[in-house]
Structure 1
């Protein structure tokens, strides 16, 4: 693997492919069903953290439009700049998701779609423990993770000329990490993509 810092590869890669990524993955309509399920699980006007928020569409845009308070975090300055322009009613922070900090019991939900898979494996369990702390009692963690284990680089991601780096464990390991963080996995499903796919977890913090 390239000895360059993998987080720098991720940051630079998303800086370069920001618009191309939205086009390739259908930003206007992706996650529609998932977001509908999120709305049904959290109180109206609740607070949601979007870890790996990208350009703010569709998660921050759609939830903010429905009256939720949304805070988005992304490592890419370009993604955050676009998110602030597209969703001015939400708050966006340019930061490493594994290093950001919030007060305990701050959120009704934490969502993270296709972002954990870019975080070095040793940093994922500590991040999951912090996420559990950030959730209010009864709050939800909704995230895509790896389905099969993989760590590596793609040199020409989405035909952009930019490299991208991934690091993820298999679904069983992710389930264990989420449970050990203090959350209860309520639902798990396979999300196909190309010849492979990802795991989608719905996990909940217990009520007091």
Structure 2
């Protein structure tokens, strides 16, 4: 497949440009609820959760907060972070690129839902060191990917939206190499809008 990774450079700009329209389109339907419940079942009460690509904080971070957890949300879009701060001022919201995040903190849960898969394949490989950096023994990691290795181009309000994925085998190896055990993985889950979801725990 032709390398389309040049389009990845525009992702942050697109989410800044269309932040409010995307948030409205996304809506409040929590189709991820079953996976979020599984994720939460593996972490302690009143946990610290790192949400990479948090958007406006709704509906995912909102659900985590409702369950009694504290959220540190990270997003590259200043508009998304402004909305998140407005929605949940008591939580911690950081405008930065997840690849460059530098925090002296460990988390019991790390979430990269519909965000990690906008990175190039090489950047995805490098992110596993980031996941480990913020994890302690028992930390639960959940992220979405594509179902197979490759690049895909979508559309957001007329702008080209880049996605990439590694192979399932490579994700499993990267998780293993960084001390994670796969708890559950499902490709193109029909009960979750066709998402491919990975749930792993740090050993």
Q: In structure 1, what is the equivalent of residue 159 of structure 2?
A: 162
Q: CA RMSD in A?
A: 2.3
Q: 1:171 to 1:69 in 2, by over 3 A?
A: same
Unaligned ranges ≥5, structure 1: none
Task: Answer yes or no: is the 8 Å Cα contact 2:7–2:160 preserved in 1.
Answer: no
Match of 2:97 in 1: 96
After TM superposition, give the deviation of residue 204 of structure 1 in Å.
Answer: 0.6
Deviation, structure 1 residue 23: 4.0
Cα distance in 2 between the residues matched to 1:15 and 1:58: 18
* In 1, Cα distance between equivalents of 2:114 and 2:168: 14
Q: Is 196-205 or 82-91 further displaced after alignment?
A: 196-205
* 1:201 maps onto 2:198 in alignment: yes
Q: Match for residue 69 of structure 2?
A: 68
Instruction: Tell me whether 23-32 or 117-126 shows the greater mean CA deviation.
Output: 23-32
The answer to whether structure 1 residue 31 and structure 2 residue 32 are counterparts is yes
Q: Normalising by structure 2, report the TM-score.
A: 0.86
The answer as to 2:184 corresponding to 1:182 is no
C-alpha separation in 2, matches of 1:79 and 1:60 = 13
Question: What do residues 15-39 of structure 1 show as CA deviations (whole Å, max 9, x unaligned)?
Answer: 2332333344443423222222222
Match of 1:77 in 2: 78
TM-score (norm 1): 0.84
Report the counterpart of residue 50 of structure 1 in structure 2: 51
Structure 1 runs, 4 residues or longer, greater than 3 Å off: 1-5, 22-28
Report the Cα distance in structure 2 between the residues aligned to 1:3 and 1:120, rounded to whole angstroms. Answer: 6
For 1:27 and 1:171, the matched residues in 2 are separated by 30
Give aligned pairs, total: 199
Q: Is the 8 A contact 2:99 2:130 kept in 1?
A: no
